[in-house]
Amino acid sequence: MDRGYYDHKKGKGHHKDYDDDHHKDQNNNQVEYEEETINGLRVRRRRFKVQHVVGENTTQVTLRSVVTFPVEVRKIMDVTAEVRDLSATPLPDKVIVEGVFHKQVAWVANVSAEVNGISYIQDAVYDLPVDERFTTFVDLPGVTPDSVVDVDARVEYVDHTDVPDAVNAGDQWQQTVILEVHVRATETMEVDVITDVIVPPGSGIKVVKEKVKVEEVLGEAEKQVNVMANINLP
């Protein structure tokens, strides 16, 4: 098997050059290829590094907890929710997903009172930040610890229900959150693609060619994703 190239600027190439215009990239730089002879045909191929999709799956995560407000709440006006610090750890046939559910709760005080040195005024609007860590797993047959995993999350539902409690202990509300978590696992693999077949002159063989688009892997990196959603409550 031989390696060949074609220099577009000099108009020269390997001794096997033949219509090599498609053996250069879009900047007219030479591109290496391999060539071998099969049954009298000269077959040229290039090796690409691509991402092979192992699989993807979606699951729902339900979070339930009790949120305590400093004074009695007349109503909850609005909730701004987001998923922070998403991370994914691939294991055999499944992926462990971790993250933080963060929300800002806009609420209206039903009474005037002072709690821990802070004065709350009746009918005034206040914000309460809430953070809650969560861990879940997603079944993904075929995934391995070497797989590259992309994870995304979406806030589907947020609800609060008042819980009967003693007024002097703060006002407690039951929180219910539903998150949709989507994971996609890929692995890097090398594939050989035939880019040209050169037939002997006078053979009568017609070579039919089609252009294909290949997304080649040039590098890999990791990133953190924050997902935000505004939840309007009645």
The pLDDT tens digits of the residues spanning 175-217 come to 999 999 999 998 887 778 877 888 888 888 888 877 766 665 5
Asked whether the predicted pLDDT for residue 8 surpasses 70, the reply is no
The single-letter DSSP state of residue 97 is E
What are the backbone dihedrals phi and psi of residue 165, each rounded to the nearest 5 degrees, phi first?
-155, 175
Which residues touch 211 (CB under 8 Å, ≥6 apart)? Answer: none
Report which of residues 139 and 190 the model is more confident about. Answer: 139
The residue extents of the domains of the chain are: 52-186+223-232
Q: In the prediction, which pLDDT does 51 show?
A: 78
Among candidates 126, 102, 88, which has minimal Cα distance to 228? Answer: 102
Asked whether the predicted pLDDT for residue 132 surpasses 80, the reply is yes
CA distance readout (Å), 191 to 46, 55, 106, 203, 223: 8, 19, 54, 30, 27
By DSSP bridging, strand 33-38 and strand 118-120 are: unpaired
Residue 20's pLDDT band, with cuts at 50, 70 and 90, is very low
Which residues touch 158 (CB under 8 Å, ≥6 apart)? Answer: 79, 81, 103, 175, 176, 177, 178, 231, 233
Do residues 110 and 73 make contact, with C-beta atoms less than 8 angstroms apart? Answer: yes
Asked whether the predicted pLDDT for residue 28 surpasses 90, the reply is no
How much is the average pLDDT of 163-181?
Answer: 81
How much is the average pLDDT of 127-154?
Answer: 92
Q: In the prediction, which pLDDT does 200 show?
A: 84
Q: Concatenated DSSP letters for 188-209?
A: EEEEEEEEEEEPPTT--PPPP-
* Mean pLDDT of the chain, nearest integer: 79
User: What DSSP element (H or E) covers 164?
Assistant: none
pTM: 0.62
Residue 2's pLDDT band, with cuts at 50, 70 and 90, is very low
Report which of residues 169 and 60 the model is more confident about. Answer: 60
